[in-house]
A and B are shown apart, each in its own frame.
Chain A
Amino acid sequence: MKSEIVIGLEIHVQLKTQTKLFCSCPTEAVEPNTAICPTCLGHPGSKPVMNAKALEYGAKLALSLGCKIAPTVVFSRKTYFYPDLAKNYQITQYEVPLGSNGQIILDNKKVVHIQRAHLEEDPGALIHEAGGCLIDYNRSGIPLVEVVTAPDMESPAEAREFMKKVLNVLGYLGIFDQNTCVIKADANVSIKEKGYTRVEIKNITGFKEIERALNYEVQRQKQQDVKRETRGWDADKGITYHMRSKEQEEDYGYITETDLPLFEISQDWIRKIQATIPELAEQRAIRWTKDWKIDEDDANIIAADLDVATLFEEIARKTDPILTSRWTRREVLRLLNDKKKTLKETEFEAKTLTELFKLLQEKKITDRIGQRIIEQLADKKFSPNAYVTEQKLEVMADEGALEKICKEVIAKNEKAVTDYKAGEEKSLMFLIGQVMKQTKGTAAPNVVKEVLKSLLK
């Protein structure tokens, strides 16, 4: 039975090369129109020359998405007129894409088929102004990979997850720089109640916006008449707006790009590229679950962040992997999220975290102390061992002292004691909390519980 919502995506990924796809202009420039030349400006007589690295990176991405690489790579001209398109045609791939027939599997086991992954050049950047527009051709010719999915996604959340997984793969491959490279998507979305009339939403930037835009559009389609059209996404206003109807679509009149040669792809070349692809997130998570028996969920979540995954792996080899995985997920990742930082932006490092996790695994400190220390390790590099010794944060081993404190707490909190004896488990938690406070968190909570219970019998 067909789904209520049908979504397909076309994602444009900018590759992290030094130079543009068809000319030697640098891909990074600040001042407008400073990374330009006759080729990316479309001067008469200029000619494109293929960037070898872009071809490699494109193939690398296609292979990582499970695609088959075409034996002969051909480029096409897509002709349409717009001020940011230097030649009024874009060199892209029409008939035979670089890669085809790949897939990404979502967490709910749904398979999203990737129909094609191909190389193409970016147009320049346009700024609208009164009575005209301003154009910066720095971006003209930047190498892009366009990834096109089958309409396999059934919710905005799935679309978001798909994009996140693509970003994850890109992170692992090192061919995409989150800070300087851009990832944009066009989405095709239709709903059952409007007869699956398809609408294209253009120019959505980033995976968060994908979910926002699709949520809006699905709602809009439920409430309004739906006709076949292309709409744009306005992130500021949070709405989609009409751009053009499907009848007004340009006939691109594709022809072969004859200023470029054919690229014959040998099995040897593919093997070399394949060898440069690292173990990707999914395989990594599966390996950890198999070898270290860590929780599947934890494994997937840690693997999704390349830097955290690398850090985790280094530490886990020297400590108890299960404990390390729990702490990596529940503390390290949580802190990154709370502070809105990437791992590289914190002071976390393998050395200090390994020390900390060893202390925990040897039960030399309590979890609560561990939490306190790990929060500080995010902002400062220091030795947990030294810190624990200095601050006297070792687990309270002296049972006598502990019993004394428990008795003090019982004495000071009559109401809680009464409530507990009346059946309120919560009050016991409160008393434990008080003991933890007194012991500055160094008492093992389960020990405290037993001592209190026996005292209150």
Chain B
Amino acid sequence: MEITPELVKRVAANARLNLKEDEVKKFAAEMKEILANFEKLSEVNTDGVEPSFHPIPVKNVTREDKPGKCLDREEALSLTPHKKNGYFRGPKTI
């Protein structure tokens, strides 16, 4: 499998990391070594095996549709300087 700097750039963009050129090269080389090693996963016969996403099966936990206590708006907004008139502020989207 080819781990090119282009692939790393794409993955980095997906992860919202604007890596510098030397970072891209370094990570590409490392990923190559790591993923080459991880390819041995294909050696394990998993025919008919279901994937496990929890180690211990967890089932059917729900809660009642009853309103509970909310956060005070001022408290929530106090965690950031980016706010205005009761709204959170974010960067340009268009």
Contacts and interface: CB of A to CB of B under 8 A. Distances in A.
Direct contact of A and B (CB under 8 A): yes
Interface of A: 17-19, 23-26, 31-38, 41, 49-55, 81-83, 126-128, 131-137, 250-251, 253, 256, 258, 261-264
Nearest to B91: A132
B70 to A, nearest CB: 5
By CB atoms of chain B within 10 A, which of A24, A49, A81, A82 has the most?
A24
A133 B89 contact: yes
Interface string B1-43: 0000000000000101000000000000000000000000000
Nearest to A81: B16
B54 A53 contact: no
A49 B93 contact: no
Contacts of A131: 92
Nearest to B86: A32
Contacts of A35: 70
Contact of A51 (B54, B58, B62, B76): B62
A253 B14 contact: yes
Contacts of A82: 93
Contact of A19 (B57, B68, B85): B68
B68 A133 contact: no
Contacts of B94: 128
B65 A264 contact: no
Nearest to B82: A132
Contact of B62 (A34, A37, A52): A52
Given A37-B70, A133-B89, A264-B60, A17 B65 contact: yes
Contacts of A36: 70-71, 73, 76
A55 B62 contact: yes
Given A19-B67, A33-B77, A253-B14, A50 B62 contact: yes
A41 B92 contact: no
B76 A41 contact: yes
Contacts of A253: 14
